[in-house]
Structure 1
Amino acid sequence: MADSPRWSRIIVAGVLTGAVMVAFGKGGTEDDEPVRAKVVPSRLEIPSLGVKAPLMKLGVTDGEVELPPYEKPDVAGWVTGTAVPGDEGPAVILGHVDTKDAPAVFYKLKNMREGQVIKVARSDGRTAQYRVDSIEQVSKNDFPADKVYVEDGLRLITCGGRFDWDRNEYADNVIVYATLVKPADPGA
């Protein structure tokens, strides 16, 4: 993912949509919010791609979704305005496809196939397991915010398609949609 403020702006609309859904009851009860606030995803594993990546928190700064630093190409990031993987709601993880001179954590993401497994370890010692439902490549101009940020499940997002050298960004996003098949149980 080249340095792309436009990509970030497109994602922000979706994060805000997801945050509104959580605020209106899709994200749990008031009683469990203090516990949920302390649990974060810590590691992403995609066995079929050989990916084992630490996760960092990504927030929204100055109206744009933060991206993992380019200096850490093997790190992905969980968008904090979305559900913790393993909990109800849409959970979103972003990662770079490449840097200026090397592949990054989601370089092979476009090669994922339906039925493959994604695991997300959490800070509470639990692991959530997902099954890939579909993969799509969409123009950044047609980013499916409702599908990404409203429907339950895990979403992995990176850049893809052709690289526009004039804009210094990829034209598309690659999005993996996955369904929770094994809740975040201790020792999973």
Structure 2
Amino acid sequence: MADSSRWTRIIVAGLVTGFVMVAVNKGVGRDETPARASVVPKRLDIPSLGIEAPLMKLGVTDGQIDLPPFDRPDTAGWLKESAVPGDPGSAVILGHVDTKTDPAVFYKLKQMRSGQVIKVVRSDGKVAQYRVDSIEQTSKERFPADKVYLEDGLRLITCGGTFDWDKHEYRDNVIVYATLVKART
């Protein structure tokens, strides 16, 4: 049974990576300039939760999406293969719910409600403002990769649900879906 679970996780990781690569290629334009390509999100602000978190770049390694390091629990990470928040495409930001000893940046994420505001400060000085559409808690086994990586908007993702002590991980993901309201300077 454990071997079957391992293969399921490998297949899911491969599918997620494929969706990410499709989303990245879908969003790349021919007229993209080097200056435009260097814009990155710098900070995530969620006023309703009291979150002001620095953002770091995350990539994909061996088919797995990298996560922010546990020794930086107040930092969230932007998946650099996704859209820059404020631009067309799916912008994905991940953060831990907790560490072995303390709450982390997305500890309160499951408390988000439709209509609340999320802001992302970018390196070009613009602030991308989003409105929360919905919040979903879903099993990691049924992760909605197409909805997360292929549809326009901001996606905030953390762990949730019950903790699986055998695997040392949460069984679910909490996902916040948000729509761009405006990008301002």
Identify whether the pair has TM-score above 0.5, normalized to the shorter chain. Answer: yes
| Structure 1 unaligned spans of 5+ | none
Residue matched to 1:19: 21
Q: What pairs with 1:57-136 in structure 2 (closer than 5 Å)? A: 57-136=57-136
Match of 1:30, SS state, is coil
Q: What pairs with 1:166-185 in structure 2 (closer than 5 Å)? A: 166-183=166-183, 185=184
Deviations 1:29-73, CA, capped at 9 Å, x for gaps: 221252332000000000000000000000012221110000000
Q: What pairs with 1:24-39 in structure 2 (closer than 5 Å)? A: 26-39=26-39
Does the 8 Å CA contact 2:17/2:64 hold for their aligned counterparts?
A: no
Does the 8 Å CA contact 2:59/2:81 hold for their aligned counterparts?
A: yes
Q: Taking structure 1 as reference, are residues 55 and 11 closer, same or farther at Cα in structure 2, changes over 3 Å only?
A: farther
Q: Distance in 2 between matches of 1:45 and 1:11?
A: 29
Is 1:49 the equivalent of 2:70?
no
Q: Taking structure 1 as reference, are residues 181 and 8 closer, same or farther at Cα in structure 2, changes over 3 Å only?
A: farther
**TM-score normalised per structure 1:** 0.89
Offset at 1:173? 0.2
Instruction: Report which structure shows greater RCO (CA 8 Å, sep ≥6).
Output: 1
Q: Taking structure 1 as reference, are residues 12 and 38 closer, same or farther at Cα in structure 2, changes over 3 Å only?
A: farther
Q: Taking structure 1 as reference, are residues 104 and 116 closer, same or farther at Cα in structure 2, changes over 3 Å only?
A: same
Q: Which runs of 4+ in 1 moved over 2 A?
A: 5-16, 33-36
Among the aligned pairs, what percent are the same residue? Answer: 67
Match of 1:32, SS state, is coil
**TM-score normalised per structure 2:** 0.91
| Code of the aligned partner of 2:149 | Y
Match of 2:23, SS state, is helix
Give the CA RMSD over aligned residues: 1.9
Q: Distance in 2 between matches of 1:43 and 1:10?
A: 30
| Structure 2 unaligned spans of 5+ | 1-5
Q: Distance in 1 between matches of 2:39 and 2:60?
A: 19
| Code of the aligned partner of 1:19 | M
Q: Taking structure 1 as reference, are residues 74 and 170 closer, same or farther at Cα in structure 2, changes over 3 Å only?
A: same
| Code of the aligned partner of 1:149 | Y
Q: Distance in 2 between matches of 1:179 and 1:81?
A: 19
Aligned pairs, how many?
179
Offset at 1:168? 0.5
Q: Distance in 1 between matches of 2:139 and 2:180?
A: 26
